[in-house]
Structure 1
Amino acid sequence: MLDTLDAPSVRTWCRLALTALGQAREEIDALNVYPVPDGDTGTNLYLTVESAASALDACFAERQPAGPGLAPAMAAVARGALVGARGNSGVILAQWLRGLSEVLSQGGDPAALRKGLVRASEAAYQAVAVPVEGTLLTVAAAAARTADQPSEGSRPDGLTAVAESAHRAALEALAHTPEQLDVLAEAGVVDAGGRGLVAVLGALVDAVSGQNPMGPVALRQEVAVPAPAAAGCEGHERPPGPGHPAFEVIYLLDAPDEALPALRGRLAGLGDSLVIGGGDGLWNVHVHVDDAGAAVEAGVEAGRPYRIRITHFAEAAARSGEREETVAHGRAVLSVVSGTGLAELCAQSGSAVLAADPDRPPASGELAEAVRRCGAREVVLLLNDPELRPAAGAAADQLREEGVRIAVLPTRSPVQGLAALAVHDATRRFDEDVVAMTSAAGATRYAELALAEGESWTMAGVCQAGDVLGMIDGDVAVIGEDLAQTALTVLARMLTAGGELVTLILGEGVPAGLADRLVADARRERPEVDTLVYEGGQESALLVIGVE
């Protein structure tokens, strides 16, 4: 449990927030009926925090080996969120993070966190031209009020108490958002942006408490959050009705502070949903208008707009409806793997390869760009790592808007990816190929052996630093001291459930002779089982085992 925030704990918070938003992304998208029912709030929030986390990772890389202090870390988070903010809710969240950064840059004690949450709420309100209650703003304000006035019986001097009270108040405020906004009540949903902020605050609780090994508290619904009613589920796919502006315009703007009042006035006269976040000469501008050109011209008059994104709501909705009708012009498979040996195996099987850094998994933008480089209209994406699913989901949404037909297969290990590649057939219809590959991956059990980095609770008991962990289907099943003996135990357990083919992928630094011992043991216990051995070269796991 932390007494004060520092740069490493902020980094942990960003990663947990990204995980929480990634897992809740589709849920939040489904809640999105305000201000425009375009079903992308969850994706926009995810991309905003992903940009913040990437900027913080870069800050750590630049300041090795000591790492950054709290002030530069928070500045990196605020700037990264601002530059990568997407949509109305993304810009508001970026401004919330900027307000928080202004205070936490001076210190990370509980009093600073309380003041920071208050300043974050104020900054979020200031970014919105016409604040509306029952939104992310309301949830932020509730969190700030409670954090600023800890409840009786809590430790007012404790960092965890401040974070928990803010999170609890945000959950309660979220549950009441339909009472404040008619469109939410009609659809039977809570506010999507507010739901996203609850996820971010829940991740903060996890980061400062360190007492939730079963996953982010942000994902546990302590206050009932209604699922979208039928009308709401349909509504978020509909374009805005008559009378609503036709375009969403968003751009970054280099402009002096004194140019902002005139810009706000000009854009407010052109449309609605105006949000301008930022400061110190860099701004993120978001507005809904009928005249997209005029909105960009207003930016030119104020300064230098760039990274301009213009979305026509009706065309976006039409593209969404046409996705399944896209005509294919070639098909590709893209495998995300770590290790030169694995990359060569996938390439030999006819797959394009994105080499992943085990210390920095690819972000959604990198995944999307790798798919584009395939040059195909139909793409099957093999992630081979469950941690990449949120980023892949956000990337897939972007690519579908571009007309790419993409299927993200839920492969959780490289051996599942290889099994899927073995049955890939580009002459089949896309759906049939995806089903066959998914079935092959699902029929492959997998295990990994790795070294524990520190003391931790697992499904198999408590492990210590240096112990060998045998993980079967993602859960720690065996804890041992000797790599070979642990590997033999894991393989024996996997074969008790049956199997016809064993695949062994050797990681970097695996002792010579280990594969021969495993092959001999498998043949002795199950003579009918075939065994394949590959040099994978991956750093993430000493050994990967697959049983089909």
Structure 2
Amino acid sequence: MKPATETGERINGQQWKSMMRAGAKALELKKSEVDALNVFPVPDGDTGTNMNLTIQSAVTDAEKTSGGSVAEVAAAVSMGSLMGARGNSGVILSQLLRGVAKGVEGQKTVSALQIAQALQTGVDTAYKAVMKPVEGTILTVSREMAKGALARAKQGGDSVETLKEAYLKGQQTLAKTPDMLPTLKQAGVVDAGGQGFLYIIGGWISALEGHDQEEISASPIQQEIQSQGAPAGFLVVENLEFPYCTEFLVKGKNLNVDQIRQDLSDRGDSMLVVGTDEVVKIHIHVKNPGNILDYAIQFGSLHEVGIHNMLSQNEAMAHALKNKEKEAPLESTEQTPLAMGEQTLKEHGIVAVAMGQGIAEVLKSLGVDEVIFGGQTMNPSTEDLVEAVQKVPAKNVYILPNNGNIVMAANQVKDIITDKNVFIIPTKSIPQGISALVNYDPEGNPEENAQNMEMGLTQIQSGEVTYAVRDSQFGSLEINEGDILGLVEDVIQITGQEALQVAQAILEKMEWREHDLVTIFYGEETPQEEAEKLREWLESEIPSIEVELYPGNQPLYYYILGVE
């Protein structure tokens, strides 16, 4: 491939396809480093792996095009990345690529300025897709990259010069991310999502300089990347002055969006109020969610209410730990899509993600139609979720992601499925999924069902017992590789050496004695005898407590605990 500077001012469809290939290859070369250096030491989803799987899916779709125009290739990249998006980082990447495609719509070839403008459209699209944008993440890095690209293109820079300026601005911004997020600063690391996007742009530059995919690792900019050393991890923790992320829809008549925005402006932070005179979307971080709901209900009915404690919104992507084989999908009793067309659709159906066979069986017993195996270190893609929804013979389908790193991928399903009503219940743990199912009414109204299921998430606490994959410092805790870790709502609370003792201690942190029901899922590496000891301890302490004990068979986690 000839360098872009030798082929004229404009980039054609074949060159654009080569850029996508090279970007994917560049990230693939460094994905393990992005995965490995995570500041949160528990087995979790992997930023580099998720972004790599997302862009590989994009390239697969791009390869199916003739490459006759930039617009054609970019549209295929957009759809491929959407369908292949995994994890929060993969979904954000898909939105960046979706916006780039919007920016080059209708273009057979593109100039340096059009590339820069498309990057800016990508940033705008990604920011709109994230309900609570956090500075110091891939969003910040991509935004400053677009600014740099626009400035250079307007000065007359060619495509390579424009993207190199974007890369430089991205590097500079990435180095500042620890100053934007206190937890990154404490750990002395930068944002892995932003680093991953830099690798992709580096691949674009390599392609435009004339390097074939096989030569990517030897191109000048990739040599520069290699000399920079390993990237750093990714963690998002928001300002806890306003710990509750509260978001919902208000439906009514003659709604005044500007007035609502003004009324809420001093009640919290990270506020977003958008909509029409009939439907308004409200997102805000507050100290007391009830006050906001009380205010809003005067204007009409509330829908899709979501209240999340942001300690559980930690977007840490983790160290790649073990090569666990994905469990075989649970055999579905539902009919195939072909057979579905021959029967009457039922009103409601449910798709849920499970970490282990035992958990899947419990979910099935509570009414779940389709179970997808996934969770920590094995996030299902948007396409996996779409296929599961399509298998459910129902008019209204509710998706329970049961993991914080799958929620964004699930949200993309609503844009793809057009012949069913899809509701995303933002469950971030198995106990939350169970609570949502308990609040599900098979005969209920769809919107009320979704609202009730979401309200159920506030009625349960989730705890986990796992192990540290590396030495780390988390807050005041000194963590050594192999330590047993106890978490409440995804936040490490205690460490120890014995899983049973840590489970007891974490239940005390969850104030289990003040509640009526404790649910225990024990993992594939936890002996049943040990799990029985945990049940016996609970019942000996408070004989009246109800304890439900299940063999979850989940990998990586000795115990998953629910208290309600």
Q: How high is the TM-score relative to the length of structure 1?
A: 0.50
Write out aligned runs for 1:441-452 (5 A): 441-452=457-468
Equivalent in the alignment of 2:287: none
**Aligned equivalents of 1:200, 1:453: Cα separation in 2:** 20
Amino acid at match of 1:334: V
Q: Pick from 75, 79, 91: which aligns with 2:74? A: 91
CA 1:165–1:351 in structure 2 vs 1: closer, same or farther (change >3 Å)? same
Amino acid at match of 1:340: Q
**Paired residue secondary structure (1:377):** strand
Amino acid at match of 2:391: R
* Cα displacement string for residues 305-346 of structure 1 (whole angstroms, at most 9, x for unaligned residues): xxxxxxxxxxxxxxxxxxxxxx98521111111211111111
Aligned residue-pair number: 331
Unpaired runs of 5+ residues, structure 1, are 17-48, 57-75, 96-119, 149-159, 170-197, 218-225, 238-326
Equivalent in the alignment of 1:164: 171
CA 1:377–1:496 in structure 2 vs 1: closer, same or farther (change >3 Å)? closer
**Aligned equivalents of 1:168, 1:509: Cα separation in 2:** 40
Write out aligned runs for 1:107-506 (5 A): 128-129=109-110, 132=114, 135-137=117-119, 143=148, 163-165=170-172, 201=194, 203-204=196-197, 210-211=231-232, 213-215=234-236, 329-358=346-375, 359-399=377-417, 402-459=418-475, 461-495=477-511, 498-506=514-522
CA 1:168–1:134 in structure 2 vs 1: closer, same or farther (change >3 Å)? farther
Kept in 2: contact 1:50–1:363 (CA 8 A): no
Amino acid at match of 1:387: N
Shift of 1:14: 9.5
In the alignment, structure 1 residue 82 sits paired with structure 2 residue 62: yes
**Paired residue secondary structure (2:419):** coil
CA 1:392–1:90 in structure 2 vs 1: closer, same or farther (change >3 Å)? farther
* Cα displacement string for residues 95-134 of structure 1 (whole angstroms, at most 9, x for unaligned residues): 9xxxxxxxxxxxxxxxxxxxxxxxx9xxx99964576487
Kept in 2: contact 1:147–1:163 (CA 8 A): no
**Aligned equivalents of 1:460, 1:227: Cα separation in 2:** 31
CA 1:376–1:514 in structure 2 vs 1: closer, same or farther (change >3 Å)? same
**Aligned equivalents of 1:84, 1:447: Cα separation in 2:** 45
**Aligned equivalents of 1:228, 1:345: Cα separation in 2:** 38
Unpaired runs of 5+ residues, structure 2, are 1-25, 38-47, 79-99, 121-142, 154-166, 177-190, 201-228, 239-269, 280-343
Relative contact order (C-alpha < 8 Å, sep 6+): which is higher?
Answer: 2
**Paired residue secondary structure (2:360):** helix
**Aligned equivalents of 2:346, 2:447: Cα separation in 1:** 15
* Cα displacement string for residues 339-379 of structure 1 (whole angstroms, at most 9, x for unaligned residues): 11111111122211323145432100110110110021101
CA 1:346–1:512 in structure 2 vs 1: closer, same or farther (change >3 Å)? closer
* Cα displacement string for residues 21-70 of structure 1 (whole angstroms, at most 9, x for unaligned residues): xxxxxxxxxxxxxxxxxxxxxxxxxxxx99973277xxxxxxxxxxxxxx
**Aligned equivalents of 1:234, 1:515: Cα separation in 2:** 53
**Paired residue secondary structure (1:387):** coil
**Paired residue secondary structure (2:406):** helix
Kept in 2: contact 1:51–1:84 (CA 8 A): no
CA 1:229–1:168 in structure 2 vs 1: closer, same or farther (change >3 Å)? farther
Amino acid at match of 1:79: V
Please identify, of 365-374 and 435-444, the stretch whose mean Cα deviation from structure 2 is larger.
Answer: 435-444
**Aligned equivalents of 2:496, 2:447: Cα separation in 1:** 43
CA 1:7–1:132 in structure 2 vs 1: closer, same or farther (change >3 Å)? closer
**Paired residue secondary structure (2:526):** coil
**Aligned equivalents of 1:209, 1:81: Cα separation in 2:** 30
**Aligned equivalents of 1:15, 1:407: Cα separation in 2:** 34
- Could you tell me the percent identity over the aligned residues? 19
Q: How high is the TM-score relative to the length of structure 2?
A: 0.49
**Paired residue secondary structure (1:433):** helix
Amino acid at match of 2:53: S
CA 1:136–1:381 in structure 2 vs 1: closer, same or farther (change >3 Å)? same
Kept in 2: contact 1:377–1:405 (CA 8 A): yes
Shift of 1:501: 0.2
Amino acid at match of 2:347: G
Shift of 1:210: 4.1
Amino acid at match of 1:347: K
Equivalent in the alignment of 1:62: none
**Paired residue secondary structure (1:330):** strand
**Paired residue secondary structure (1:135):** helix
Shift of 1:473: 0.9
**Aligned equivalents of 2:494, 2:64: Cα separation in 1:** 42
Amino acid at match of 1:376: A
**Aligned equivalents of 1:506, 1:456: Cα separation in 2:** 26
* Cα displacement string for residues 1-37 of structure 1 (whole angstroms, at most 9, x for unaligned residues): xxxx884523565999xxxxxxxxxxxxxxxxxxxxx
